Amino acid sequence: MSSQEKLEKYLGRLNRIRTIKVNGKVTKVIGLTIESRGPVATVGDVCQIESPGVEPILAEVVGFRENNVLLMPLSDLGSIGPGHDVVATGNSLQIPVGPHLLGRILDGLGQPIDGKGPLDSPNTYSAMRQPPHPLTRKRIEEPLSVGVRCIDGLLTVGRGQRVGLFAGSGVGKSTLLGMIARNTSADINVIALIGERGREVREFIEKDLGEEGLSRSVLVVATSDQPPLVRIKGALVATAIAEYFRDHGQDVVLMMDSVTRFAMAQREVGLAIGEPPTTRGYTPSVFATLPKLLERAGTGETGTITAFYTVLVDGDDMNEPIADAARGILDGHIVLSRQIANRGHFPSIDVLASVSRVMNDLVSPEHKGAAGVVKKLSSIYKDSEDLINIGAYQRGNNVQIDKAIMHQPAIQRFTAQDVHEHSDLESARNALIETFGGIEV
């Protein structure tokens, strides 16, 4: 580290030091909500609650009731008592950013949990940032190879596109995210595991991501046992890190598993501060916060953030509130089918239920035509599948159904891919055009 960098590091620390403390006092704790008389603060500010003999507890201002400040803890609140000091920091949550984040694993507040030492950087980003101005966003004009043949060929994704992965539990979404992280042509991966079971975190890192994927990734982990505000912050921190790399002209893939658990955490916060439950118990703030989070990804003035957000669908109901809201915001959706997964077909992508809204602007006419043939043949086969399976359909009665039956094995081979099988956009496009180009349906 040069002398200039050292000087900037220490100047940054000095700028963050507050020499005057403005105190409030804890008056009440109900559930997850802390009430205090003072200090002067705004919504989103981080405060320290100082308890005698223990480390200060961080809490965030989430609202106001009469003349009291409402806070929610960013850690366990077991040691908080009446009369304890509440000290305003005057800032929202700030996270250190820089190239040194690659290969690191952070908690929901942006602190390292991988035992590789502290993050010592003079540069910080606020976790709460505004989406780019719509007129500064560049159009999505370049495809991005994600290394999954079915997506590259039939649901081509563009640099800066935001895509939802809609799935129930246990149909392979984490494995699919791991494949994308290992195989994508993007420069950097930022992966947020929000509300995951603690057991699954290490499993994802070692089994799905691997050393190759981790070396060019930043992981942000906020497990299900952590306070709801930490789970919310985990999603915001991961997005801010992706924004840092985008602002430096790089192509970033942001993967968040899952946006549904982010919404559930926001619902917990809303209910705790007195918001009325509306659609299926979700509070109005959930539907106000979702677009603010999802719109932060996408193209910028220099780099891009291509985002994949997993959306859990209860009982495989694709029209539940969060799925419906996310589908209206995002630039496409990929549906993972339990029925396809039960056949042992991986990835279990339901091509007919999925769509990439920018694909037609990214691919050649030959590519578009071949993908259309696959979708038409799949649709014809699906409509007649019951008759075919019970032997009620006789070959020769319908030319289109005959073609669908003939090409069905080739479609299955194209859409199936082993977890460790390498693919890229060019090979997927060539295979698609070679196999299905020129077929008339």
pLDDT digits (tens, 9 = 90+) for 149-176: 999 999 999 999 999 999 887 788 888 9
Q: What is the largest CA-CA distance in the chain?
A: 86
Note the pLDDT of residue 409: 93
Local confidence band at 218 (pLDDT 50, 70, 90 cut-offs): very high
Note the pLDDT of residue 1: 59
Whether the link from the prior residue into 347 is cis, omega within 30° of 0, is yes
- Residue 310 has φ and ψ, to the nearest 5°, of -85, 140
Residues in contact with 254: Cβ distance below 8 Å, sequence separation at least 6, in sequence order: 189, 190, 191, 192, 238, 239, 242, 297, 305, 306, 307, 308
Local confidence band at 272 (pLDDT 50, 70, 90 cut-offs): confident
Residue pair 65/84 in contact by the 8 Å Cβ criterion:
no
| The two three-digit tokens of residue 256, written as one number | 């968040």
Report which secondary-structure segment, H or E, holds 95: strand 94-96
> Which of 210, 215, 226, 208 is closest to 187 using CA atoms?
215
Whether the link from the prior residue into 39 is cis, omega within 30° of 0, is yes
Cα 240 versus chain centre, distance = 12
Note the pLDDT of residue 198: 79
Residue pair 225/198 in contact by the 8 Å Cβ criterion:
yes
The length of the chain, given as a count of residues: 441
Local confidence band at 326 (pLDDT 50, 70, 90 cut-offs): very high
| Angle between helical axes of 321-329 and 284-294 (0-180°, round to 10) | 30
Note the pLDDT of residue 232: 93
What are the distances in angstroms from CA 58 to CA 112, 114, 311? 17, 21, 30
Report which secondary-structure segment, H or E, holds 284: helix 284-294
Whole-number Å distance between alpha carbons of 68 and 87: 14
Residues in contact with 90: Cβ distance below 8 Å, sequence separation at least 6, in sequence order: 18, 41, 45
Local confidence band at 14 (pLDDT 50, 70, 90 cut-offs): low
DSSP string, 132-151: PPGGGPPP--SEE--S-HHH
In a 13 Å sphere around the CA of 265, the CA atoms on its Cβ side amount to: 28
Local confidence band at 315 (pLDDT 50, 70, 90 cut-offs): low
Write down the residue that tokens 């979702």 correspond to: 290
| Per-residue pLDDT at 310 exceeds 90 | yes
| Per-residue pLDDT at 5 exceeds 70 | no
Phi and psi based region of residue 111 (left: phi greater than 0; alpha: psi -120 to 50; beta: remaining): beta
* DSSP three-state, residue 13: helix
| Per-residue pLDDT at 199 exceeds 90 | no
Whole-number Å distance between alpha carbons of 374 and 351: 9
DSSP string, 196-214: --HHHHHHIIIIIIHHHHH
Residues in contact with 156: Cβ distance below 8 Å, sequence separation at least 6, in sequence order: 143, 356, 359, 362, 363, 367, 425
Q: Determine the average pLDDT of the residues in 135-157.
A: 92
DSSP string, 151-182: HHHHSPEETT-EEEEEE-TTSSHHHHHHHHHH
Each residue of 347-398: pLDDT tens digit?
999 999 999 999 999 999 999 999 999 999 999 999 888 888 788 888 888 8
Local confidence band at 250 (pLDDT 50, 70, 90 cut-offs): very high
Note the pLDDT of residue 316: 64
Residue pair 318/265 in contact by the 8 Å Cβ criterion:
no
Cα 315 versus chain centre, distance = 21
Q: With a threshold of 0.85, does the pTM exceed it?
A: yes
Note the pLDDT of residue 166: 93
Local confidence band at 148 (pLDDT 50, 70, 90 cut-offs): very high
In a 13 Å sphere around the CA of 150, the CA atoms on its Cβ side amount to: 28
